[in-house]
A and B are shown apart, each in its own frame.
Chain A
Amino acid sequence: MSLMEGLSIGRRGLSAAQIAIDVTGQNISNANTDGYSRKSLTQVSDYRTDGTYGQMGFGVDVVSVNRVRDVFIDRQLNSQIADQGYTTDLDAAYQRIENVHQEPSTTGLNETMDTFWNAWSDLSNNPSDKSARESLKSTAQVLTDRFHYTANEMTSYQNSINDQVQSYVGQINDIADKISSLNKTIVAAEGAQNDNANDARDQRDQLIKQLSSYVKIDYTEDKSGAVSVTASGNMLISPQTVFHLETTRQDVHDASGANATFYGVKFEHSDTAFVPQSGKLKAMFDTRDVVIPSYMNDLNAMTATMVKAVNTVHESGYTMDKTTGVDFFDPANTTAATISLSAAVINDSNSIAAAAGGTIQSVVMTGATVPPTPASDANNIVNLTSASAQFRNLAQGSVVVTDPVSGTVLQEGSSKDYVVDYDLGRVRIVNSGTYPAGTVFNINFKYNDTGYSGTGDGNNALAISQVRDTKNMNFDQTGAATSSIAENYAGYIGRLGVERSQAKSSLDTQTALVEQLTNQQASIAGVNLDEEMTNLIKYQQSYQASAKFISTISTMMDVLEKI
């Protein structure tokens, strides 16, 4: 045992204290770094075997610097983060849908529909009043605009969600690349140099956490320190490779029923489709493919019922111009995105049928079977009333004339084949070159079995205003309708409210879980500045003590040298 040995012990003490102070400094500076785990020092007392005394202390040895972290909590946390990501985006989607509907308010669909029915009631009070007709027409336009607005907002939201899918896939690939490159760093560091790649591991844990918010993943770490990540049973990152995802374009019907190109997700180098199990990406798919379409379908069912119910009554009535069989809504446009007034009503509010008629009856009149033969007479006029006095008051545009010999359907129009006197039930053949007197035709037409009921009659408008209370939606097992359009809409909004509340409460639950676990991890891995300050003092003291020890040895050596 020599004094030189004492110097060596002192030096090792100094160096250990220095390392400890460095570690403390690192902990202090990263106190606010996301994903940073606090580092701790493992020191052992070193020894040598002395012939006389056996084991002799040989100072201190810094064995390793370790991360303090509970990886089990990380696993739990990552799985909850995926669900939190899912519920966050789903709740945001419901919130957006709620905002689109603006209920309850004085501008929402509910109020707009009420105003629409009221306008019919007003018209029934003043059927001959042009201003009541114009007011109804503009109210109806406000209604269709409101439906369009709702449908367009939903569709454009659906499209923005679709874009989001692409951006999420890009981010997933990006994160996967970073994890993979950290895998390599860690394997290199820990394998060859036998170091603890603490900070790289911190970063990798952080990235795995980020990845979890997009998709639910499973991961395992092999002996070399590399992690393999799988999602939905497919390998996303292997120790060697990254399997990139890519978006594919698939043609589907969007919420408004139009063709749209939505993104699907698959692996870049195979045909395997990627179906996320949770996380933000799944929320995007669910919102785009399930939530929005289900609301749009309900809305479309409502507009379709509205168009049909109003038109059925409207057709049976008479317009100010004494025509019957006129549509109020364009029967071809039944979705919320397309619902519109019929061309006749757009052109002239007099085409609104306020006056009551009877029932619209369909007649198929074939030349062979219905006497008298509906052949044209010398004036080229087929008089339908000669078959039955009732065959007048024809529904607008309902007359279809066919030539039974050639099967040709004749064209209506003064410069074409025939014109119709809808009031008197007469078809005049103008194309007498092709169809001379005596030609036999098949004629299909619809007529109103009750005549015009006068300009002062508002009973049809009254009947339409009462469609508001007609049960015509949500059929039960017996096929009976159980709710009116307004009741159906209230149910629709109710469903939105319930689903949003559910989304919100599961978001709250999920957020609380994530916070709890984050807290647990922070309690273990987080930096406590007080602790670090204490350590700093401790290591500073120990540094000073080691220095003092060396100076003492030095003094002792001086003493020896003076001898």
Chain B
Amino acid sequence: MARITFSQSSTVVMRQLGNNQSLLASWQEKLSSGKALNRPSDDAIGVVNDLGLRTNLSHRNQNKRNDDSGSTYLTVLDSTLTGYDSLFQRTRELALEGASDTLQPSDRVALNNEAKQILLQMVNMADTSYKGDYVFSGTDTDKVPYSVDSGTMNINTVANEVPAGGVVGDSTDVAFALNTPIQLYDRNKTDSTSTASPYGNPEVKRIIPDSVSITGLTEGTDYTVDYVKGTISFLSANATATATAGTLDVKYDWVRRNELTNSNGNINCEVEPGISMNINAKADDVFGKETDMDLFSSVISLMQGLHTSTQSQIESSVTNIDTSYNRLLGQQATIGARVNRMQSTSDRNDEDIVTTTGLQSKVEDLDFADAISKYTLADTVYQASLKSASKILPESLMNYL
């Protein structure tokens, strides 16, 4: 028979109490934190999975934020483009009305005035900004895509006359010629990459009809203007005389397409992990390229018809306006499709967040029913060990002597 000594039974009791207490404490920690995983050694594989799920969840939540931000942006684009609908409608009506045989030139001038307001509104809307960024400027969002500028140009018989004290390239005029279209240039801008004009000045296009004035000359008799192309043809001796005198100053307002290096830059939004989507609409796609007949040119071509009361031009401008409208509608459809795609990725993100949260909860969260029953069990065992210790330890022969 093995001897049982006092130190043996006390060590056993102490160890068992310690074990039971630490088991109890570990369940207590789990219950109070609500987590089954409190440190890597609780379940190494579980923690690795958990970290992966956390990262995935964090990424998905960020994508959801991106979706929200992208959706808002697309909504701004969509509502801006929708705003053009009524303007197009009215422009078309003006064109049909203006093409009517019964109309007098003065009636057409009235229509032109309305068309001008529509044009200015269209330019204004093309400069829509969202949070301080111009939405149609590609990635050059700090620059306005279009603006209505005023310009002056001196047309002189001495070509490229250099003003006193100036250097070559500072000349403020172009050479005069009779019955030949003279191109206007924007004197305020130089574009080092442009070879279109002398000294790198961009060409002036899309001049607003009725904004052109030349002191001493009358439109129609002394000169005619191609408002879309930005050229003036001089017709009379009066014009020649004015040019020779050096006082032929052309004043005009025009719709300027600003020099944007990154007008075709894509603004992208990561909608799902690793998948990004282009969300911006570029001026060229929405309003047309400068080289084509863009939206503003087509309205100006109508305005020129109304201004000069040329029925054929009014009629032909309708085609251009329709082309521009279709171009814009095409973009609107694209944006609509993007909104839908954004919605579906957002739904997918939501779904994934729900699934991942579920998985994470399975790995990380405590099964309370299970934990409480185990805690209760551990507590019972602990109580029992305390009770038995209190019974066993005091037992001694001395109690009976």
Contact residues of A with B, CB < 8 Å? 31-32, 94, 98-99, 101, 103-104, 110-111, 113-115, 117-118, 121-122, 124-126, 128-129, 355, 451-459, 462, 465-466, 468-469, 486-487, 489-491, 493-498, 500-501, 504, 515, 518-519, 522-524, 526-531, 533-534, 537
CA distance A115 to B396 in the complex (A): 65
Assess whether A94 is in contact with B396, with CB atoms less than 8 Å apart. no
CA distance A456 to B269 in the complex (A): 12
Min CB distance A410 to B, Å, is: 29
Assess whether B43 is in contact with A497, with CB atoms less than 8 Å apart. yes
CA distance A453 to B142 in the complex (A): 12
Assess whether B270 is in contact with A462, with CB atoms less than 8 Å apart. yes
Apart from A98-B40, A104-B51, A530-B396, what 4 extra A-B contacts exist at CB < 8 Å? A456-B142, A466-B270, A504-B41, A523-B5
Identify the closest chain A residue to B37 (Cβ): A104
Identify the closest chain B residue to A99 (Cβ): B39
Known: A103-B40, A114-B55. A530 touches B397 (CB 8 A): yes
Interface centre among A94, A104, A115, A122 (most CB of B within 10 A): A104
Known: A98-B39, A515-B15, A533-B397. A31 touches B7 (CB 8 A): yes
Q: Which 7 A-B pairs have the closest CB atoms?
A: A456-B141, A497-B40, A526-B5, A497-B44, A454-B139, A457-B139, A500-B41
Identify the closest chain B residue to A97 (Cβ): B40
CA distance A337 to B274 in the complex (A): 31
Interface size on B, residues (CB 8 A): 62
Assess whether B52 is in contact with A528, with CB atoms less than 8 Å apart. no
CA distance A491 to B44 in the complex (A): 9
B337 adjacent to chain A (CB < 8 Å):
no
Assess whether B139 is in contact with A453, with CB atoms less than 8 Å apart. yes
Identify the closest chain A residue to B262 (Cβ): A454
Assess whether B48 is in contact with A118, with CB atoms less than 8 Å apart. no
Assess whether B276 is in contact with A462, with CB atoms less than 8 Å apart. yes
Min CB distance B272 to A, Å, is: 11
Q: Please give, as numbers and ranges, the residues of chain A lying within 8 Å of B133 by CB-CB distance.
A: 128, 455-456
Q: Please give, as numbers and ranges, the residues of chain A lying within 8 Å of B39 by CB-CB distance.
A: 98-99, 103, 497, 500
Partner of B139, one of A31, A456, A469, A489: A456
CA distance A65 to B266 in the complex (A): 98
Assess whether B276 is in contact with A528, with CB atoms less than 8 Å apart. no
Q: Please give, as numbers and ranges, the residues of chain B lying within 8 Å of A451 by CB-CB distance.
A: 261
Known: A103-B40, A125-B69, A457-B267. A529 touches B140 (CB 8 A): no
CA distance A336 to B110 in the complex (A): 74
Q: Please give, as numbers and ranges, the residues of chain B lying within 8 Å of A126 by CB-CB distance.
A: 69, 131
Assess whether B37 is in contact with A494, with CB atoms less than 8 Å apart. no
Q: Please give, as numbers and ranges, the residues of chain A lying within 8 Å of B387 by CB-CB distance.
A: none
Give 1 or 0 for each of B380-401: 1 = CB within 8 Å of chain A CB.
0000000000000000111001
Assess whether A459 is in contact with B262, with CB atoms less than 8 Å apart. no
Assess whether B267 is in contact with A458, with CB atoms less than 8 Å apart. yes
Q: Please give, as numbers and ranges, the residues of chain B lying within 8 Å of A122 by CB-CB distance.
A: 62, 65
Contact residues of B with A, CB < 8 Å? 2-8, 11-12, 15, 37, 39-45, 47-48, 50-52, 54-55, 58-59, 61-63, 65-66, 69-70, 131-134, 137-142, 260-262, 265-270, 273-274, 276, 280, 364, 396-398, 401
Known: A128-B142, A456-B138. A497 touches B269 (CB 8 A): no
Q: Please give, as numbers and ranges, the residues of chain B lying within 8 Å of A527 by CB-CB distance.
A: 5-7
Assess whether A528 is in contact with B4, with CB atoms less than 8 Å apart. yes
CA distance A522 to B54 in the complex (A): 52
Q: Please give, as numbers and ranges, the residues of chain A lying within 8 Å of B276 by CB-CB distance.
A: 462
Partner of A490, one of B2, B48, B139, B140: B48
Q: Please give, as numbers and ranges, the residues of chain A lying within 8 Å of B262 by CB-CB distance.
A: 452-454, 456-457
CA distance A358 to B66 in the complex (A): 24
CA distance A522 to B6 in the complex (A): 9
Assess whether B55 is in contact with A486, with CB atoms less than 8 Å apart. yes
22 contacts between A and B (CB under 8 A): A31-B7, A111-B54, A115-B58, A117-B59, A118-B62, A126-B131, A451-B261, A454-B138, A454-B140, A454-B142, A456-B138, A457-B139, A459-B266, A462-B268, A466-B274, A491-B48, A494-B45, A497-B48, A522-B5, A526-B8, A529-B398, A533-B398
Q: Please give, as numbers and ranges, the residues of chain A lying within 8 Å of B15 by CB-CB distance.
A: 515
Assess whether B140 is in contact with A515, with CB atoms less than 8 Å apart. no
Assess whether B41 is in contact with A94, with CB atoms less than 8 Å apart. yes
Q: Please give, as numbers and ranges, the residues of chain B lying within 8 Å of A98 by CB-CB distance.
A: 39-41
CA distance A259 to B364 in the complex (A): 41
CA distance A451 to B192 in the complex (A): 15
Assess whether A118 is in contact with B58, with CB atoms less than 8 Å apart. yes
Min CB distance A162 to B, Å, is: 25
Assess whether A494 is in contact with B398, with CB atoms less than 8 Å apart. no
Min CB distance A228 to B, Å, is: 30
Assess whether A110 is in contact with B266, with CB atoms less than 8 Å apart. no
Q: Please give, as numbers and ranges, the residues of chain B lying within 8 Å of A515 by CB-CB distance.
A: 11, 15
Assess whether B261 is in contact with A452, with CB atoms less than 8 Å apart. yes
Assess whether A465 is in contact with B4, with CB atoms less than 8 Å apart. no
Partner of A459, one of B52, B141, B268: B268
CA distance A512 to B70 in the complex (A): 62
Q: Please give, as numbers and ranges, the residues of chain B lying within 8 Å of A534 by CB-CB distance.
A: 397
CA distance A25 to B37 in the complex (A): 54
Q: Please give, as numbers and ranges, the residues of chain A lying within 8 Å of B5 by CB-CB distance.
A: 522-523, 526-528
Min CB distance A108 to B, Å, is: 9
Min CB distance A337 to B, Å, is: 22
CA distance A495 to B276 in the complex (A): 34
Q: Please give, as numbers and ranges, the residues of chain B lying within 8 Å of A110 by CB-CB distance.
A: 51, 54-55
Known: A500-B40, A530-B396, A533-B397. A518 touches B11 (CB 8 A): yes
Partner of A529, one of B6, B44, B137, B270: B6
Identify the closest chain A residue to B142 (Cβ): A455
CA distance A469 to B60 in the complex (A): 13
CA distance A43 to B139 in the complex (A): 107
Assess whether A125 is in contact with B48, with CB atoms less than 8 Å apart. no
CA distance A137 to B66 in the complex (A): 19
Min CB distance A496 to B, Å, is: 5
Known: A454-B139, A456-B267, A529-B6. A501 touches B41 (CB 8 A): yes
CA distance A524 to B54 in the complex (A): 56
CA distance A112 to B278 in the complex (A): 28
Assess whether B54 is in contact with A104, with CB atoms less than 8 Å apart. yes
Partner of A453, one of B37, B47, B265: B265
CA distance A501 to B270 in the complex (A): 40
Q: Please give, as numbers and ranges, the residues of chain A lying within 8 Å of B65 by CB-CB distance.
A: 118, 121-122, 125
Q: Please give, as numbers and ranges, the residues of chain B lying within 8 Å of A524 by CB-CB distance.
A: 3
Q: Please give, as numbers and ranges, the residues of chain B lying within 8 Å of A355 by CB-CB distance.
A: 139
CA distance A283 to B401 in the complex (A): 51
Assess whether A494 is in contact with B261, with CB atoms less than 8 Å apart. no
Assess whether B141 is in contact with A31, with CB atoms less than 8 Å apart. no
Min CB distance B294 to A, Å, is: 21
Min CB distance B7 to A, Å, is: 5
Assess whether A121 is in contact with B66, with CB atoms less than 8 Å apart. yes
Assess whether B51 is in contact with A101, with CB atoms less than 8 Å apart. no
Min CB distance B41 to A, Å, is: 4
Assess whether A125 is in contact with B401, with CB atoms less than 8 Å apart. no
